[in-house]
Amino acid sequence: MSRIITLTTDFGLSDGFVGMMKGVILGINPNATIVDLTHDIAPQNIEQGAFLFANAFRYFPANTIHVVIVDPGVGSARRPIAAQVGETRFVAPDNGVLTMAMESLKPLPCVVHLNRATYWLGRVSQTFHGRDIFAPVAAHLSLGVPLESLGDPVNDWVRLPPSVAVWRAGNEIVGRIVHIDRFGNAITNIGEEMLTAIDRARVETSVRGKTLQGLQSTYAMVERGEVLALISSSGHLEIAMREGNAAQAWGLCLGDEVLVRA
């Protein structure tokens, strides 16, 4: 049976961890189609993983199986879980990394604690559940094993605290940087919907003591090396530099506060 399985991790590609997971999946289901979403999430950054995954998974067919692993609590009391909404299945540690994706879906997900070792590898490392639990579970799901066979149902799965920007003093939005991509573009948690009633030519965006005037529609609207604010492809306010690296130039970091004044 052919089924798409996506992988999202903070493993990087230099140590072979991702390759081992793929080997496990293909050893169980040689016909699986494996798609890498990203393996460059900042190490142990659960919120960044949740944000990136939530913005990507919706572009896949409904019957895709998504494996999401950012797991600083591997080997601890945190549970491994699998979830299902409609035809879509998710496999991940129970630490909130699925929060943004599952909260965007209806109806509420069915979630199980992965406590049936039949569907794991025979020997489980306490430091690599991605290979020994999550990858084989995803492979068995791709072969048609029903969710309820994988473990006991749970309804207290971990949710991250809301990661939303807020209005302050009536005309100021307070948000923060939640992702910096490989181009050095800093993406914030300020959604485009918060900016619909704002005059984009007059809006001011401030971060790290620097202020940008106006929202541009594309990178090409400014000169090379100039920093700008615009709406990213994910629908969030982004701070970028045309043909340059805004994060390096301005010293931007994950978690930096961003202010937008109408």
Q: pLDDT digits over 119-165, tens only?
A: 999 999 999 999 999 999 999 999 999 999 999 999 999 999 877 78
* Residue 105: predicted pLDDT: 85
For 151, the enclosing helix (H) or strand (E) is: strand 151-154
The span from the CA of 246 to the CA of 227, in Å, is 6
Determine the pLDDT at residue 199: 81
Is the separation of the CB atoms in 88 and 101 below 8 Å?
Answer: no
| Short-list 79, 40, 80, 88, CA closest to 60 | 88
Residue 108's pLDDT is what?
Answer: 83
Spans of the chain, pLDDT less than 50: none
pLDDT of 233-259, one tens digit each?
999 999 999 999 999 999 999 999 999
Model pLDDT, residue 1: 65
Half-sphere exposure of 110 (CA within 13 A, CB side): 14
Q: Helix, strand, coil % (nearest 5) of the chain?
A: 25, 30, 45
Alpha-carbon distance of 127 to 74, in angstroms, equals: 6
**How many other CB atoms sit within 10 Å of the CB of residue 151?**
20
The C-alpha R_g of the chain, in whole angstroms, comes to 20
